[in-house]
């Protein structure tokens, strides 16, 4: 099929920053796009050929949107899977598939999937409600500390908490949850795997993620990860095993733990472009967004190697600031070597809301990391 400069239409469910960065690539190749998002001010709105405002969880809205495109993809997991299944049954191409999304959307189902496929992950138990969990704690059948995760609805650090005592459970949601053993680990790592319908598979280099201690959000992504080659190979091999199990088409971001004895455990996955791959826009031969487009259109996959060392800093809303956004000192970071800011286009800032990111590239990774720290100290995302 000829995708370029034709009436072929790619549909994207979700109009946030991931969709916006995907549209950099569709614009580059003159591929027609339609986007559906609940917000009238979605970042994608300015760059798509057709924008529709609507509920991503509503069957009719998603189904009718999907009928008017040739291939459908998504940039967020919170979409109506039944609508995707109906579209597929009518011959519509949906990548990643509804079956892939169904195995990932609910974290309880996702964890059980790893167990069923002999994929290393932290020991866990699933509870249907907070009441069920409280009962187990009351009977002293579980030991503190442990990790609590909401089965659905978690993102950007929400829906995950370390529980050190019973009182920590009070503010958490009443819904189904997973309890995981708190694993001591050296590093949090991620590998992005690309797969097209023809079965071609490529992995990106392993990245290392440094987290903000309070917000439970990634603060820095460092590529390549500062780990032994043997550990990196183990992580990439495990990511391919996970990819084969899901049989996804498009990108799969596999988040992992490197334990104290260098075992690799899968934490969770995302079937889409991912925060851990943003560095690739400046640092890789083929950035993750172009790769996703290549994969879902069954084009040859691009070179995943890095051209240069890269560190990404997330730009999140400052604490105590809610309202119209202002990027304070952005001109100062623009004067720094190898620094490229990406502003997502969200007009309102809130504490810890992801508003953009900055990539720092340098042949010396340690230099890139120290410039990244300078960037973090300098720029502030505040309310006007």
pTM (2 d.p.):
0.95
**Pair of tokens at residue 192:** 């992005």
In a domain, 118, yes or no: no
Residue ranges at the known binding site for ATP: 107, 149, 180-183, 188, 267-268
| Candidate from 90-94, 103-107, 212-216, 318-322 with smallest mean pLDDT | 212-216
Binding residues: 107, 149, 180-183, 188, 267-268
Listed residues 149, 164, 181: the one ending a domain: 181
pLDDT digits (tens, 9 = 90+) for 25-72: 999 999 999 999 999 999 999 999 999 999 999 999 999 999 999 999
Domain final position from 45, 74, 94: 94
Is 115 contained in some domain?
Answer: no
Looking at the structure, do residues 345 and 271 belong to the same domain, yes or no? Answer: yes
Domains of the chain: total: 3
pLDDT band at 156 (very low <50, low <70, confident <90, very high): low
Residues 191 and 162 in one domain: no
């Amino acid at each position: 099929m000829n995708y370029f400069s034709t009436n072929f239409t790619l549909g994207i469910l979700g109009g946030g920053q991931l969709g916006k960065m995907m549209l950099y690539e569709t614009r580059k190749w003159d591929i027609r796009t339609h986007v559906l998002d609940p917000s009238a001010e979605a970042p994608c709105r300015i760059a798509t050929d057709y924008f529709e405002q609507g509920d991503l969880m509503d069957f009719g809205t998603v189904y009718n949107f999907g009928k008017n495109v040739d291939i459908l993809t998504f940039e967020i997991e919170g979409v109506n899977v039944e609508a995707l299944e109906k579209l597929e049954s009518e011959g519509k191409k949906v990548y990643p598939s509804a079956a892939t999304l169904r195995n990932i959307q609910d974290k309880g189902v996702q964890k059980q999937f790893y167990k069923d496929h002999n994929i290393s992950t932290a020991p866990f138990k699933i509870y249907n409600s907070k009441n069920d969990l409280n009962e187990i704690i009351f009977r002293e059948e579980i030991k503190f500390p442990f990790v609590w995760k909401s089965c659905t609805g978690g993102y950007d650090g929400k829906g995950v908490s370390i529980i050190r005592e019973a009182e920590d459970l009070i503010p958490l949601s009443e819904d189904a949850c997973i309890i995981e053993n708190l694993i001591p680990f050296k590093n949090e790592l991620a590998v992005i795997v690309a797969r097209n319908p023809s079965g071609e598979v490529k992995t990106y280099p392993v990245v290392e993620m440094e987290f903000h201690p309070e917000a439970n959000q990634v603060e820095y992504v460092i590529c390549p990860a500062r780990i032994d080659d043997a550990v990196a190979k183990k992580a990439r091999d495990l990511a391919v095993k996970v990819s084969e199990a899901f049989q996804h088409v498009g990108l799969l971001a596999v988040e992992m733990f490197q334990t104290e004895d260098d075992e690799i455990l899968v934490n969770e996955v995302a079937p889409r472009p991912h925060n851990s791959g943003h560095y690739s826009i400046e640092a890789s031969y083929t950035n993750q967004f172009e790769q996703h487009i290549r994969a879902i259109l069954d084009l040859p996959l691009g070179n995943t190697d890095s051209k240069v060392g890269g560190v990404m800093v997330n730009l999140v809303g400052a604490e105590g600031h809610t309202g119209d956004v202002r990027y304070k000192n952005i001109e100062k970071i623009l004067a720094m070597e190898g620094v490229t800011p990406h502003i997502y286009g969200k007009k309102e800032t809130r504490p810890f809301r992801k508003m953009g990111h900055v990539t720092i590239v340098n042949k010396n990774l340690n230099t890139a990391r120290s410039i990244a720290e300078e960037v973090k100290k300098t720029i502030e995302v505040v309310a006007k």
